């Protein structure tokens, strides 16, 4: 069989997509084109997922950053400072600050 005859010969192609099965008669060229387009779509989808993951991880790092100057981080710093100051005062003014007889 020559290459030209092989290219034009119909074959069954089974495609699984979006939870559905599709069986079609296609030529070798049509099957190659379908595979090429599917590969492009998958590469684009993977690229978009990588961008999304990068942007999510950057926003998570910004939210967890100790240098974040939003109101909640400032209030946590103040709360911690008050706690440490009270603890220091208890240690200085009590003979046994954490021991209860």
Write down the pLDDT at residue 52. Answer: 84
Distance (Å, whole) CA 68 – CA 10: 63
Share of the chain above pLDDT 90, in %: 11
Between 86 and 73, the more confident residue is 86
DSSP E strand boundaries for the chain: 11-17, 20-26
Is pLDDT at 5 greater than 60 in this prediction?
A: no
pTM over the 0.75 mark? no
pLDDT in tens, 21-69: 988 898 889 888 988 998 998 899 898 888 888 887 776 666 666 555 5
Under a CB-based contact definition with an 8 Å cutoff, are residues 28 and 6 in contact? Answer: yes
Distance (Å, whole) CA 97 – CA 89: 10
Cβ-Cβ contacts under 8 Å for 22 (sequence gap 6 or more): 14, 15
Q: What are 59's two structure tokens? A: 């926003």
């Amino acid at each position: 069989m020559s290459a030209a005859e092989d290219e034009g010969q119909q074959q069954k192609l089974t495609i699984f997509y979006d939870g559905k099965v599709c069986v079609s008669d296609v030529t070798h060229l049509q099957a190659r084109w379908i595979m090429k387009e599917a590969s492009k779509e998958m590469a684009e989808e993977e690229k978009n997922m990588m961008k999304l993951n990068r942007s999510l991880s950057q926003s998570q790092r910004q939210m967890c950053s100790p240098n974040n100057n939003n109101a909640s981080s400032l209030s946590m710093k103040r709360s911690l400072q008050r706690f440490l100051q009270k603890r220091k005062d208890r240690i200085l003014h009590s003979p046994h600050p954490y021991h209860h007889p």
